[in-house]
Structure 1
Amino acid sequence: MPFEKIHPEKLSHSVVKQIELLILRGILRPGERLPSERELSERFGVSRPSLREAVSELQEAGLLVARANSGIYVAEVLGSAFSPALTRLFGSHEEAVFDYIDFRRDMEGLAAERAARLGSDTDLAVVDSVFQRMEAAHKKRDPSNEAQLDADFHLAIIEASHNVVMLHMMRSMYELLREGVFYNRQVMFRQRTTRQNLLDQHRKINDALQARDPKAARAAIEAHLNFVSQSLTDQLKAEKHEAIARQRLAHESGR
């Protein structure tokens, strides 16, 4: 008969599974510090030896790391998504930038559609909260903070789509964006007209999500990323034209 004895689960294994799920669902983020051993054991309701056993197992699995005199952290698991060689290639070829934007448009359009349908009220409240902070940063004319909130806004939508594979894949893509591998978001946010356009586009995305309109949410994402693509095309052309103009000026000055 295909029946097996039921064995009670070890407390440490229950802790392992809970922490694994928190990492998988993106609730515990790479680089995040866990609470102290005492606080964790109290929250889980297990003894410290059971907690240590769980932490040790997660360290061996590469999900947690210990830092001397600092504590236990979620491992930087996103760092392994792309090899350093591939990252260098991304950063040195223009076509990678536009392929990246195309990829984002497809994936985030789907994520926005799913978020409008499947996101909870709390998910959409988080998206709205990030947008409100983006508006506040816009009024303060802080392009650095506004650019960071731009990334947070898009990631909040992906989180609200409730697809863990998409979540971790897109988080790894955004790490490269934050590092300026694909393009420097702050350059776009320094331009007054571009900043206002970007804010208006994010407002349309947020409005569609809050109205739970999947079709409008996807269309707003696609329009936004089409604008980003065109803006970057214009920027690259302007840089090339400036380089040519400087050559002409240098030639004329040398006559």
Structure 2
Amino acid sequence: MRPILSCCALLLSLAAAPAALAQSADDAGERRIMSSSAFLSGHPDLRYRLSGLDHFRKGDHEEAMVHFRRAARYSDKPSQGMIGEMYWEGTGVAQDKALGYVWMDLAAERAYPLMLAKRERYWNQLDADGRARALEIGPQLYAEFGDDVAKKRLERELRFAKRNTTGSRVGSVGALTIVIPTPGGTEVVDGTAFYDEKFWDIDQYVQWQDTDWKLHAEGTVDVGEIMSLDKPLPEDAQDD
């Protein structure tokens, strides 16, 4: 696919999976790890984003919004961008361009080029009343979904999942191996690859995602194949 920067097309393509632009064997291994239920169960940002995208592609936009909002609570910028796009276009919700702008402003919080471009386009198309309303409702959304609070939620989830899976309070991997179901059978992954710090340390995890979005989400891009899950997504957990 070679999606062009317009409407939901590029957001849908790039939001489908982090590191979707993987080319090397190492990157392909990362994609297999990240598509596993074991990985997704500890990463609610990705789990809810993928579930939201699944519902969106099926045309179930109301349910997609529910899952995107859950992902957004864990600082998932692509999901926040999808919410902004849906409010702006009135997809599955009553059209609200001021609210759409605020969500896209949240999505642009880390200066991803795609989100910044959309945010500026939205602002330029708002009238004076829309801009005033956006400035009024913005602080309330930032108080719940901004990085200052949302990253802390995600950090707790990452730390809890790693500790419980490894059985160590400090998250020590030791000789742990992970068995991942694949379409061709099962694959055994060394624990050091599965528990690479860039997936579980909040600062490294965010930096890794930021690099991917800032490097690739400009203009026209090749996104490669959308990853397939080894099994259905886990049932949604109750939000904290």
Higher relative contact order (CA 8 A, sep 6+): 2
TM-score by length of 2: 0.24
Which structure would you say has the larger Rg?
1
The structure with the greater share of residues assigned to helix is 1
